Structure 1
């Protein structure tokens, strides 16, 4: 099954496409991105992802080169061309190509890129066993709600977790738990679901929002409020969410093993599967 690429205004061979040296995404990380999962050939919560893409573009003053409806059409065509049923769509928009200068170039069109590839597969054994997560101090900028290309702190945190034998890094700020390097995080305590509120300091995850909606349908109360590392260590259940991971059980936080009974996580996972 071929990987598919769309660059600027047409579909191209993914192996032949060359991004200009002076593209601002290349030189400054001056752009935004979005990742969308497709199940059985259908993009999942596409409208919500594209709405967030538009919000990110507005936040950093990039004019979208296409309407959201036109981007949706490109996504559908890319999936059809790829013939990949279980796919991951990656969209990137840079401010454009121009001689290197820090302030915005004038009258430079943004550059739109899209790729489709097979989705990452996580075994059922791993999903049942769960992730090990390593906490780390949050050293990112303050506008993490923008899905920008400036991900070096996330890369370093993820690498630190990997080097220590963990699956994910979880950010905290002075002991207050915020989110993972590539995920949002939830904790369960006494039947209640806790997660950091949707402020500027975290990414407003689409799967995060789906989980909160599902929790409401299951009469599980969600508290969107800050909680501490100690609270996380003592939680009855912990899980992380993202487009790629869906709802991933956490079995260990730092050196603390968590309970193996995870009834609320299991309920949410089961109802999430029904949406696909």
Structure 2
């Protein structure tokens, strides 16, 4: 059966969904997005994603075509229509489709925003085998634009980073700026030294991860020490553990950086415990 998707107020079979060739998301990457996980048929951290979406739109002076309540209803209907038990809901809002291509923003009163949502089924999302063995990463130069805190659809360089990692035979890449790790291609990065979890502080240099916020809150509640500061590549290679967080991977251990094995080469104790806490607590609050 064909997936049902949402485009500008309509629920449609995916093959009937269309967006104008003049849409600024297509021509200018002038749009923002969010990805919300689904576990047990319910949305994980929806409120956090909705708040970050509002912030991203505000930073780009872009209007939202729907309210938060309408957005929740759309998410729920798509999950229901597509029988998603475990998976993702992808949301994208662009500045719309004016009558022609122009660098100047169109008048929002004349050009409504474009909104698109679709689901992706991901059976086994919560019990990913990768969480048992850990990921391997390489480091690459961070060559993205300067406003990484806005979750835009400008994902070409992160995609290039994924391909660099694939070519190197590993799972992902961590990006480096001025000698310090910023984040992964689609995730926030952490190391563990002794009893301390270390991750880069929030700024324009990294995405303000929704899963990051929840995991750090749960870590504090579990009496784990957290330090938000820059850390170098060498410091990461010498860490006891490392891990990433994102909406689609939750908490995922990292066991190798640029060929250097961390600890025993297997997930340590901190990342698996945080993953367990995150999944347990997030399921309680799922909508």
TM over 0.5: yes
Gaps of 5+ in 1: none
The alpha-carbon deviation at position 245 of structure 1 amounts to 0.8
Q: Does 1:227 align with 2:231?
A: yes
Partner of 1:90: 90
Partner of 1:274: 280
The alpha-carbon deviation at position 30 of structure 1 amounts to 0.6
Secondary structure, counterpart of 2:88 in structure 1: strand
1:134-149 mapped onto 2 (5 Å cutoff): 134-149=138-153
Partner of 1:155: 159
Q: Does 1:113 align with 2:116?
A: yes
Aligned with 1:206 (options 197, 210, 229):
210
Q: Deviations over 1:221-240 (max 9, x none)?
A: 11111111111010000001
How many residues are treated as equivalent by the alignment?
Answer: 276
Partner of 2:269: 263
In structure 2, distance between residues paired with 1:4 and 1:42: 17
Q: Assess, with a 3 A threshold, how the Cα gap between structure 1 residues 120 and 195 changes in structure 2: closer, same or farther.
A: farther
For the Cα contact (< 8 Å) 1:136–1:157, is it kept in 2? yes
Instruction: State TM-score, norm by structure 2.
Output: 0.93
In structure 1, distance between residues paired with 2:17 and 2:121: 19
The alpha-carbon deviation at position 117 of structure 1 amounts to 1.8
The alpha-carbon deviation at position 87 of structure 1 amounts to 2.2
Q: Assess, with a 3 A threshold, how the Cα gap between structure 1 residues 120 and 90 changes in structure 2: closer, same or farther.
A: farther
Q: Assess, with a 3 A threshold, how the Cα gap between structure 1 residues 85 and 195 changes in structure 2: closer, same or farther.
A: same
Q: Deviations over 1:113-151 (max 9, x none)?
A: 000120264664422111000101111111101000111
Gaps of 5+ in 2: none
For the Cα contact (< 8 Å) 2:236–2:242, is it kept in 1? yes
